[in-house]
Chain A
Amino acid sequence: DEIGLIPCPEARYNRSPIVLVENKLGVESWCVKFLLPYVHNKLLLYRQRKQWLNKDELIDITCTLLLLNSDFTTAWNVRKELILSGTLNPLKDLHLGKLALTKFPKSPETWIHRRWVLQQLIQENSLPSLVTKGNLGAAPVERIHRLVQEEMNVCSEAAGRYPSNYNAWSHRIWVLQHLGKLTVKVLLDELSSTKYWVSVHVSDHSGFHYRQFLLKSLIGRTVTDNNVLVQNQMVNEQNPSLQKEEEGAGAEAACADEQSVDLPRRLEEELELCTELIDTYPGHETLWCHSDETLNNAHHSPATSHMAQVMDVDGLNESSSKQGYTQETKRLKRAPMQDSLGPEMEYRFIDKVLSTCRDADQARFATAYRKWLVTFLGQ
């Protein structure tokens, strides 16, 4: 489940340099300068059609090469060809990639190849012949779900092995977009499962950026669902006879989704998390940036204005009299969520930090944050 290089500059004993301990594979460093050029050369000769290698040999050689240097694109490409010709099970490459990432957690080529493999697997999923191939044997939805979970684990591991591992976190985002379809459930699950991780990696900018992506996606999701709701309501107005039918799947589903995402509450929680972490761990710029971004999202979120729109339409439907309408508009003008994420709270927080902190960096960040608030919010 892990590979590594053993620092061992000279071969002292006449024995194999490969060490297997507790399911972890180690290679003594002295042999690398012999092994790597040898396999590298062999592969190049094959590619240049000067020397033939059969499928098994190719699999072995590329595997060795990639465990020594996982950014060797040609080796990954050879494996792509093997997968496309049906000789190599794509799941093997997911495993190989996972292993390579224990030693090279950033390796761009490994992540790129991984996405290619996942795309192959998704495409396979839509073909009816999948069931007989029996790669995983489970129903397609279940299969995708398991793939997504596994990818989340791999990303998390890699993120832990290298600080601010941009490649790992971008891959994570890609998986949610292409495999997870950015469902509300997936987004919320990810928010809760990464909360502890970011709390113990407070200067990992990529980790917090991921949470921003999750929140923005949730906002986008809520807008889409609200749009559906609004459209349905507008259709109802024009065609009262259709109203009963419209109260079917579309509007209800949108309603259900909207209800399960209390967006203002989520944003508030995120800001609370930031505040708590800033207080506990002074002097981490990442946390202040995250605060900026969250407040930015909250303020500019089209969801807040769209929600108001929905409420407005509701008002129109519920009471036909003009008096009723006026009452409804008064209600939504108070816009409760904007108050709770208001700048006053942030100013008070900054003042508290400045008056109690002793860390020079922390003071600098707090002052900068205040300047940003003033210019940005114009208050």
Chain B
Amino acid sequence: MRLYSLSVLYKGDPKVHLLKAAYDVSTFNFFQRSSVQEFMTFTSQLIVERSELGSRASVKEQEYLCHVYVRNDGLAGVVIADNEYPQRVCFTLLDKVLDEFSRQVSKIDWPSGSPATISYAALDGYLSKFQNPRDADPMTRVQAELDETKIILVRR
């Protein structure tokens, strides 16, 4: 089970743009890595565009699962994982990351930000730490509020 990318975006009106992202493409064939990364950036953006404010969803794209959380204030996060990685842990991760991001990066910077201008460096660390869901999140099962939220599984 594997996590491939973790990104923070802003769902502006009308455009979505990427604020910060981390990738782990080490399990891919060496020469495929850059195109896989491009694919993930593009897909993350597309998914946020198609998601409503205040929603969570898990979208299946080829053999990957893209978990997206768009907050009411427009801040959004996407985790791209394989189909073995537990869904609940992904949403825990997204909650945590967006929460921390919103405290460290001021709201004014979101609509115009880009990876170059935003200073938030924790994504790589989170991506690496959460590769093993059991180490990273021992409280996986206690997710009462999460289960009340509607999670849509969209198969394409």
A203 touching B83, Cβ below 8 Å:
yes
Question: Interface-forming stretch among B9-17, B23-31, B69-77, B120-128?
Answer: B23-31
In the assembled complex, B102 has its CB within 8 A of some CB on chain A: no
Given the complex of chains A and B, what is the CA–CA distance between A242 and B146 in angstroms?
A: 73
On whether the beta carbons of A280 and B30 are closer than 8 Å, the reply is: no
Confirm or deny: B147 has a beta carbon within 8 angstroms of a beta carbon on chain A.
Answer: yes
Most chain B CB atoms below 10 A, which of A6, A281, A284, A358: A281
B112 CB within 8 Å of chain A: no
Chain A contact residue count (CB 8 A cutoff): 22
Which of B29, B35, B84, B86 touches A102 (beta carbons < 8 Å)?
B29
* Chain B minimum-CB-distance residue to A29: B31
Instruction: Decide yes or no whether A22 CB sits under 8 A from chain B.
Output: yes
A4 touches B84 (CB 8 A): no
Cα of A202 to Cα of B134 in the assembled complex, Å: 13
- State whether A202 touches B31 (Cβ < 8 A): no
Say yes or no: B86 contacts A281, CB within 8 Å.
yes
- Of the candidates A103, A200, A203, the one whose C-beta lies within 8 Å of that of B29 is A103
Instruction: Tell whether A4 pairs with B1 under 8 Å between CB atoms, given A203-B83, A203-B84, A281-B84.
Output: no
Q: Is the CB of B30 within 8 A of A24?
A: yes
Determine if B92 is an interface residue (Cβ-Cβ < 8 Å). Answer: no
Cα-based distance from A358 to B146 in the complex (angstroms): 12
- What's the least CB distance linking A259 to chain B, in Å? 33
Interface check A81, CB cutoff 8 A: no
The count of A-to-B residue pairs whose CB atoms sit within 8 angstroms is: 38
Size of interface on B: residues with Cβ below 8 Å to A: 15
Q: Which of B7-57 contact A (CB under 8 A)?
A: 27, 29-32, 35
Answer yes or no: B132 CB below 8 A from chain A CBs. yes
Report the minimum CB–CB distance from B71 to chain A (whole Å). 24
B140 is an interface residue with CB less than 8 A from chain A: yes
Contacts of B83 in A (CB 8 A): 203
Query: B147 contacts which of A2, A7, A358 (Cβ < 8 Å)?
Result: A358
Q: How far, in whole Å, are A284 and B83 apart by their CA atoms in the complex?
A: 10
Give the complex CA separation of A200 and B130 in angstroms.
12
A70–chain B nearest beta-carbon distance, Å: 14
- Verify A284–B30 contact, CB threshold 8 A: no
Contact status A26-B1, CB under 8 Å: no
User: Do residues A201 and B29 form an inter-chain contact, with CB atoms below 8 A?
Assistant: no
Asked if A251 CB lies within 8 Å of chain B CBs, one says no
Residues B30 and A26 in contact, CB atoms below 8 Å apart: yes
B1 adjacent to A6 (CB under 8 Å): no
**Bitwise interface map of A from 1 to 25 toward B, beta carbon under 8 Å scored 1, else 0:** 0101111000000000001011010
B29 to A: closest C-beta gap in Å? 5
Which of B35, B84, B134, B147 is most buried by chain A, counting CB atoms within 10 A of its CB?
B84
Q: Among the listed B29, B31, B140, B147, which residue makes an inter-chain contact with A280, where contact means beta carbons less than 8 Å apart?
A: B140
Is A160 engaged at the interface, CB distance under 8 Å to the other chain? yes
A201 touches B30 (CB 8 A): no
Top 4 closest pairs, chain A to chain B, by CB: A4-B31, A24-B30, A26-B31, A4-B29
Instruction: Report 29 cross-chain contacts, Cβ distance below 8 Å, ordered by A residue.
Output: A2-B29, A2-B30, A4-B29, A4-B30, A4-B32, A5-B31, A6-B31, A7-B35, A24-B30, A26-B30, A26-B31, A102-B29, A103-B29, A160-B27, A200-B1, A200-B84, A201-B1, A201-B84, A202-B1, A202-B84, A203-B83, A203-B84, A280-B86, A280-B134, A280-B140, A281-B1, A281-B86, A284-B84, A358-B147
Residues of A in contact with B (beta carbons under 8 Å apart): 2, 4-7, 19, 21-22, 24, 26, 102-103, 160, 200-203, 280-282, 284, 358
